[in-house]
Structure 1
Amino acid sequence: MKHLKIHIVLLLCVAIFTLSQCKPEPKESNPPTSVGTPAPITPPAGFPAMNIPADNPQTVEGVELGRHLFYDKKLSADLTISCATCHEQFRAFSDVDQVSTGVNGKIGRRQAMALFNLVFQEEFFWDGRVQSLEEQSLHPIVDPVEMDNTLPVVISRLEADSAYPSMFKAAFGDTKINEERIGKAIAQFERTMISANSEFDRVKRLSGNINAPFIEDPNTPGSKNNGFLIFTTERGDCFHCHSVDKDGAYLGGGFGQDLQFLNNGLKMDYSNDEGRKEFTNEASDWGKFKVPSVRNIEWSFPYMHDGSIPNLDSLIGFYNFGGFDNGNTDPNMKFAGNENGTRNFTAQEIQDLKEFLRTLTDYDFLEDPRFSDPFE
């Protein structure tokens, strides 16, 4: 009996020792979200801080993957449209149509916003309903009046494609394709869309002298210099909403939270689209929309959230009129005008202002092959 007890004790010791050596395999840490070749963005001098999340660093492979996804019609339910369908490069990545048309001819309510300098911005869409490009890039895919698709369908299409698994592996470390990685890749590509080389930039911002005169073209009527003064003084009062900082960098909006969303008196009635109020449910946001940049404004027509202003002449005419007093119109709309709120620009002032706005066109950006369709 004694020998039996000793035998049992010995067996227990052996078992305990054996189990102590069977340590569980260490859990594999989550694979890195980005493993490609670093491609840091160098911001133009004088521009605000960039918004690049730590878990989605810029890489050569991620940007190229995002570029392909941006132009790929596989993202839409019926394979007919891509992000680029409503954001065309030669129009500063805005839409040629008054409001965007989705799959099966569905008509949206709003004009597709121009896409550039997004890396400096914090809120997206006309109503600012999302706070990251990663999230923003996924919304049109599932929006029923845009691409009207589901992300599982998109993922399965990309998985079945001969090129995408290896592209995802190059960008993220393995061939897994999921919602998060799709959003991150498109966001990386969109962050590279920086426009900062217009005539205005070359003359005023890059020279370091915001008061440097434009070299006027004797064959072009109007004065760019005078247009700039109209824009940046109370004569036109454009600068209160489209600020020009000391380096001439911003030509906002979208960079200052105080001027992020405004009601510019475009309408008396916003019942069909209440703007930011639909997102915040705040009465003070009724009829407010994101203030767009005036960079590349020569090519980003039609204007306003509903595309209701067709060209530069009509745009200047609207601000010359001063907008409607709808009860929530920003006071700056009437600040520069007479007692009736109109600015009473002369014909020459209108021409001068138009000539200045044309100096904001960045042709290098509009034609940059890095942003073009990779499938062509």
Structure 2
Amino acid sequence: MNIESHYKKIILPFVLLAAGIFMAAIDINPQYVDPYKLEYPDYFGNRISIPENNPTTKQGVYLGRMLFYETKLSSNKTISCASCHQQKLAFTDGRAFSLGVDNVPTKRSSMSLANLLWVRNFFWDGRAKGLEEQAKFPLSDPHEMGNYLDKAVIELKKTKEYPILFKEAFGSTEITSEKITKAIAQFERTLISANSHYDQYLRGEYKPSEQELKGMELFMNAPIPEKNIRGADCAQCHGTPKMYMELFHNNGLDAEPKDIGREEFTGAENDKGRFRVATLRNIALTAPYMHDGRFKNLEEVLDHYNEHIALSRTLSITLKNRSNNLNGKNLGLTANEKSNIINFLKMLTDSTFINDPKFSDPHLKRHQ
């Protein structure tokens, strides 16, 4: 047997078999997709939340972005995740309560989707652990997306593009509800807001105005009237560079809340009226404010914390007995001080974030 015959009869079959095994591995193993580089400043910290079974990849993020803007995920094919989370509004919708497929208002206001990479418990009451779990709720709610997730799987299978996109992201053309929520979660983890004037100030690239600096000082300081230190003590709950801490507080909205908040999820009486501390990133864009959108603007929010805290058994201790005046009954900020704090809050607006094309609707670009 010559060398050529030996190669064709003995070696080549093994080469083809090995190649087939390798290609099969590519088809089913997501490790062959490209990792997505999540970029954020060091001062945000590295306590990020990514489950081992859903690594962030370029293919997964793109699929998630497509699905985030996909109206086929709703029962009437008219709304998507982006309907309640609009990029121009820092992924809120400008409503006190969002409207779903049946035009029935949701129970609570839509939260901003900025910097979710560091969040572990989602919604105002923290009932969802992880973005994958969070995505299931609106998709399965009859008043939001219409409890259409299983049927949406069938709709996506009928398309030319989605089986290919799912194969690129997850190694198989099979489309499942789990893969849908995983892909959306991957995209949402990329929604990082880190280029506001405040970030630029932290990097030494922006010089705040006198009003912004005074507002920042008031924001960070706790009031100590005995030492003539004036402050609003906002940093107690919002003081990290991300302007967010994973806390749940009763912030004095009502003495007897109609919405019991986290207590509905935990069953603990001490959680009555407690809600998740919302991020202040892009806060000037995310009105109306609070879980029920009761405050139309930042001025009303400052007035609440300054003068209208409602006492109750579960009121956050950080809001009790604090005043800029000796023996004062409320926070006691002046009108000018409140205005300065709002000037600082406007420093948190990130125009890069709300205009970044990689967060925009890919369907629009595709059809142009």
TM-score, normalised to structure 1, is 0.84
**Alignment check: 8 A CA contact 1:35 1:171 kept:** no
What is the aligned partner in structure 2 of residue 6 from structure 1?
Answer: none
1:37–1:129 Cα change, 3 Å: same
2:342 is equivalent to residue 354 of structure 1? yes
What is the aligned partner in structure 1 of residue 294 from structure 2?
Answer: 308
Q: 1:323 aligns with which of 266, 285, 309?
A: 309
**Alignment check: 8 A CA contact 2:272 2:314 kept:** yes
Displacement after TM superposition at 1:174 (Å): 1.3
AA in 2 matched with 1:42? E
Provide Cα deviations, 1:259-303, integer angstroms capped at 9, x if missing partner: x111001112223x2111111101111111000111110101111
AA in 2 matched with 1:176? E
Q: Secondary structure at the match of 1:113?
A: coil
Q: Mind listing any 5+ residue stretches in structure 2 that lack a counterpart?
A: 1-20, 223-230
Q: 2:245 aligns with which of 243, 248, 253?
A: 253
**Alignment check: 8 A CA contact 1:43 1:50 kept:** no
Q: Secondary structure at the match of 1:305?
A: coil
Q: 1:345 aligns with which of 318, 325, 333?
A: 333
Q: Mind listing any 5+ residue stretches in structure 1 that lack a counterpart?
A: 1-25, 217-221, 255-259
What is the aligned partner in structure 2 of residue 242 from structure 1?
Answer: 238
C-alpha separation between the residues in 2 aligned to 1:214 and 1:296?
19
Provide Cα deviations, 1:295-343, integer angstroms capped at 9, x if missing partner: 1101011110111111111111111115100221112123432545422
C-alpha separation between the residues in 2 aligned to 1:364 and 1:332?
33
What is the aligned partner in structure 1 of residue 133 from structure 2?
Answer: 135
AA in 1 matched with 2:245? G
C-alpha separation between the residues in 2 aligned to 1:278 and 1:329?
17
Equivalent residue pairs, number? 330
Displacement after TM superposition at 1:145 (Å): 1.8
Q: Secondary structure at the match of 1:61?
A: helix
1:170–1:132 Cα change, 3 Å: same
Matches within 5 A, 1:1-376: 31-33=28-30, 35-48=32-45, 49-204=47-202, 206-207=203-204, 214-216=207-209, 223-234=211-222, 235-244=231-240, 249-254=241-246, 260-271=247-258, 273-337=259-323, 338=325, 339=327, 341-376=329-364
AA in 1 matched with 2:35? P
C-alpha separation between the residues in 1 aligned to 2:208 and 2:218?
17
C-alpha separation between the residues in 2 aligned to 1:108 and 1:69?
21
**Alignment check: 8 A CA contact 1:241 1:252 kept:** yes
**Alignment check: 8 A CA contact 1:35 1:172 kept:** no
C-alpha separation between the residues in 2 aligned to 1:71 and 1:87?
10
**Alignment check: 8 A CA contact 1:322 1:341 kept:** no
C-alpha separation between the residues in 1 aligned to 2:359 and 2:321?
40
1:176–1:330 Cα change, 3 Å: same
Q: Secondary structure at the match of 1:105?
A: coil
Deviation >6 Å, runs of 4+: none
C-alpha RMSD of the superposition? 1.9
Displacement after TM superposition at 1:241 (Å): 1.0
Displacement after TM superposition at 1:32 (Å): 3.0
Largest Rg, 1 or 2: 1
Displacement after TM superposition at 1:33 (Å): 4.8
Q: Secondary structure at the match of 2:362?
A: coil
What is the aligned partner in structure 1 of residue 15 from structure 2?
Answer: none
Q: Return 285-294 or 30-39, whichever deviates more.
A: 30-39
Percentage of pairs with the same residue: 40
Q: Secondary structure at the match of 1:267?
A: coil
Q: Secondary structure at the match of 2:42?
A: coil
User: Could you say which structure has the higher helix fraction?
Assistant: 2
